[in-house]
Amino acid sequence: MSVAYDFARSPAAEFMARPQDLLIDGRRVPASSGRTFKSLNPATGQVIATVAEGNEADVEHAVAAARRAFEGPWRTMRASERGQILMRWAELLKQHADEIVEIESIDAGKPISATLRQDFPSAVDTLTYYAGWADKISGDVVPVRDDALTYTVREPVGVVAAIVPWNFPLMIGMWKLAPALACGCTVVMKPAELTSLSALRIAELALEAGLPKGVFNVVTGPGRVVGDALVNHPDVDKVTFTGSPGVGRGIMKGAASNFKRVSLELGGKSANVIFDDADLESASKAAASGIFFNAGQVCSAGSRVLVQEKAYDEVVERLAARAKSLRIGDPLDRKTALGPVISEKQMKSILDYVDIGRKEGATLVTGGEKVGDRGYFISPAVFAGVEHEMRISQEEIFGPVVSVIKFRDEADALRIANGTAYSLAAGVWSRDIGKLQRFAKRARAGTVWMNTYGYTDVRLPWGGERDSGLGREHGTAAIDNFTEPKAVWMNLAV
């Protein structure tokens, strides 16, 4: 495994070489404290950018700017004009695709081929989809009685705090931005400290597209400072967050101060269930992709592969073979299938879980080792002989580690699949349509994939319950997230 990264020759080098200041009220400004932090390339451990370290004062300025924009030009603008600005922004993103994709790949350690294939197209699709929604958000006439005209309208929630994770900064950032802006809200975004760069670049392009100043602000810095300040700010009307259940619980507590609306997309320990009558080649291939994509740093990763007894040994063998075949290396190499995990801390956490799995008595069939002498690369790990109660079966590892668990029959598969605190997603493989439908009906999951795994689309709701979160993103659910219904009653008997 080698990393042939040459920062000096990167098309994105000019952007990353600049001081990465905050973006508040339409201008790039340094943090009020003057403090900065270093952004590292996970593939090399090298510094790639110097980023402003925002604090409570910067959040105050950003929220005030967002409030002025909300009460002024953005809210009063014609909805169709808002949509046109978002469409122009999408066109600018496409014009700068190579630069944005490279920034994302270098900053997050994401294989550039996958970023080109999924992350960037999904971000653009999300933006264009909600741009089309901007002038179609309507209410209903409700015929309550003959002497009154009664109807409903949907109004924007107000100032939104969007707190974005490090695993899909561009894509998930747009999942929050696009519907909020289409609905007429204004946004203060806090990207993850580890991956701040793409948010700052697309914010610059939003201004170029004609987005009024203050509508979209970016405050970078640590979650315990910037995130907490946003959650506790009395003039923030809604928080949308993707991240860990622990942080999600803290956000709900903080939001209670002024009863902010909250939507949370949190963790997962998704079960990918393979019955012995399934197409085992297709199921194994998809199961490997479902856990090893993005180095396993995916909330809906199929980190538990449940296999019926008769097919168990074959699926373990196929998963191990696919794990061994994945090319690990430079994220900018288009042949790379598996890049680094995001940080040294995350790498250590994952390797600790590999040790826990061994100590619990599971069999490490392959992988689970640090790769190379720099960067944060881990060989994809396959554990066999995993019992449902083991920690590696119950706890979110967020890395390229799969637990293969044996089950007897439908009832046993359902018991194991539903037997964690999470409920984000699940997959099921069988040639028996009745079996598929029974499992889908009883699985505790916001999304169930049948004879496939991992697909998402902005037109379908996305989210979970329990430790997987609260509310749904995407589709019309996102319109509900960022609007408030108002009832209007007009007396006609006058």
Q: Which residues are catalytic?
A: 265
Strands (E), 416-482: 425-429, 447-450, 469-470
CA contacts within 13 A on the Cβ side of 189? 32
Residue 47's DSSP bridge partners are 40
Helix (H/G/I), strand (E/B), else coil: 64: helix
Helix (H/G/I), strand (E/B), else coil: 472: coil
Structure token pair of residue 405: 């668990």
Helix (H/G/I), strand (E/B), else coil: 486: strand
C-alpha span between 155 and 178 (Å, rounded): 16
C-alpha span between 455 and 469 (Å, rounded): 19
Count helices and strands in the chain by DSSP H and E runs: 18, 21
Closest CA to 104 of 117, 86, 90, 119: 119
Q: Does residue 217 contact residue 188 with C-beta atoms inside 8 Å?
A: yes
Strands (E), 173-233: 186-190, 216-218
C-alpha span between 234 and 258 (Å, rounded): 6
Distances from the Cα of 92 to the Cαs of 87, 89, 162, 207, 367, in angstroms?
A: 9, 5, 22, 11, 42
Helix (H/G/I), strand (E/B), else coil: 210: coil
Dihedral (Cα; 113, 119, 125, 126), 10-degree rounding: 180
Distances from the Cα of 357 to the Cαs of 17, 288, 393, 417, 422, in angstroms?
A: 42, 19, 9, 19, 20
State the pairing for strand pair 381-384/363-366. antiparallel
